[in-house]
Structure 1
């Protein structure tokens, strides 16, 4: 049986704000629609995605679809996503893990999505297809929200100036001048079989050294970010001595292991995730020095078996240590 296509009400809020700015009487339009009139007061409730998108299309009919979808998507932020989704993303040691988490968790935010990824030589294509729309204006609006969420998640790893190599849309709507200007170094293709972005494998291999900044997620307090950052700093000197247990780490920072576990749980983190992320972060830094042998890096990070280090590094980054080193040195 086909599942209903639903989405968190917070997703529609960006369209509501934009429609108000261009002079649409939103309250009256909601009263005349099949959408609930209380939608702005309950961002975590779920509404019909086709109804929400069709309503937004009608309201923004005086604006080019690509332009309207882009302008709405630019209003999104990490805070637009559900709290469990945000925490899952933040508990990611590398870009690859963060994007895989995004693809697996996105379907809980939007049940109409079908997600997957595949390798294309030295790139990875990240796909989020919206199953309920054809190639018309409705698809365009839905796709922009997905595309910008993918881009923003990658920017949380690679920095705010990062851009994908390629954007593809199922919609056949022509991109506006604003879109071409914003993505001037990105290939934009419409009428494509998939909604996707194309990312360099080396960008996905980057470590997520810290949590996403408070600027992009106002629901995260600074002191919470400082805790995980400081915990990583404490762990770094001990990596060469093996695998520091949570009991050892708790004793070092002056709290019980139960308190440490409870604290990490409240931040959506795990000790294993923090430790793995710290190791990958350090490995990435050491691999940028061509004079250090990979086997010595493995030993320096407490791996007794260099092959085990290579397996874990590849699983977390999508690249072998030697391939990652080559990609880093090629950019210098």
Structure 2
């Protein structure tokens, strides 16, 4: 079974909705391709990708629809990503950190989906590819979704009006002029080594615009949610940064749970304790860089970094910029 690439039913629903809205017999067509007919109830279940793509192509061809992948992508929003991925993104301090997590957890959406970041001059490409599907026809239907979801993720940090300067497809496919008119400031490329959109490097350090990270329903025997633990630690840890953060054992004792249970709770949100400490250090440093005139070396020591070089490396890993570049970029705002 591991050799069958799967996708969440959520990504099949828009194609079925389009077909259904036309008044066509959607259930019969789904059944023809051995796909579930009750998709709404199974949004987080998985189905094979290949018959799903064939279903989308059959809808486009039989109903004379242009660019059905684009039409379907317009029906999907950030909230349609898997719950775990939304939680992970919601706890990412910067766009760069979120994109790194998305690349790690992409198989939550499609089991054979791989994503990575490529630097190209002053932009970063958010690349995606379905492993094992090279040469298959009609992949543009899926690639529209692969490109639109990163757009929704970037907008969580840059605002709802952001659009990429380029949308590229791995398939030899060019959207119609009508479709391109929806993206007047975007160029389209086809036949690329992967599907990708680009984002300017200056936007990688954008902070998360979410006022409150999404809740996580995961709980174990002590009924304390991981979200509550993370929120508490983010309030507490800044007090310890300049003297050394408590160990994971000490934190677990404070919370009244085992180390294993504590680590499992953090893992459910794509975090580790050391990673959480790094995030708290970064957020404290970013706030001081934005709001004060403190010397960068003083910011480094006050946030628990051993030396300025370590501070610069750690800060760049999360934000994509050096502390000085970050201050120059955000202080005027």
In the superposition, the TM-score normalised over structure 2's length comes to 0.79
Residue 283 (structure 1) aligned to one of 285, 300, 312: 285
Residue in 1 that maps onto 2:324? 322
Shift of the 233–186 alpha-carbon distance from structure 1 to 2, 3 Å rule, reads: farther
Q: Report how far residue 108 of structure 1 moved.
A: 4.8
Q: Report how far residue 195 of structure 1 moved.
A: 0.9
C-alpha distance in structure 2 between counterparts of 1:116 and 1:255, whole Å: 36
Unaligned runs of 5+ in 1: none
C-alpha distance in structure 2 between counterparts of 1:166 and 1:286, whole Å: 35
Larger mean CA deviation between 255-264 and 94-103 belongs to: 255-264
Residue in 1 that maps onto 2:304? 302
- Residue 106 of structure 1 aligns to a residue in which SS? helix
Higher relative contact order (CA 8 A, sep 6+): 1
Residues 180-236 of structure 1, C-alpha deviations (whole Å, 9 max, x = no match): 33x34433334444310111222223344768755xx99799x97666445423433
Contact 2:243 2:304 survives alignment (8 Å) = yes
Residue in 1 that maps onto 2:155? 155
Residues 211-267 of structure 1, C-alpha deviations (whole Å, 9 max, x = no match): 8755xx99799x97666445423433443343244566678xx74254982654565
Compare the two structures and name the one with the higher helix fraction: 1
Shift of the 133–36 alpha-carbon distance from structure 1 to 2, 3 Å rule, reads: farther
Displaced runs of 4 or more, over 6 A: 217-221
Q: Report how far residue 270 of structure 1 moved.
A: 3.9
Contact 1:210 1:229 survives alignment (8 Å) = no
Unaligned runs of 5+ in 2: 220-224
What aligned pairs does 1:187-266 form with structure 2 within 5 A after superposition?
187-208=187-208, 214=214, 228-229=230-231, 231-246=233-248, 255-256=255-256, 258=258, 261=262, 264=266
In the superposition, the TM-score normalised over structure 1's length comes to 0.79
Shift of the 95–188 alpha-carbon distance from structure 1 to 2, 3 Å rule, reads: same
Contact 2:27 2:37 survives alignment (8 Å) = yes
Name the count of aligned residue pairs: 322
Residue in 1 that maps onto 2:222? none
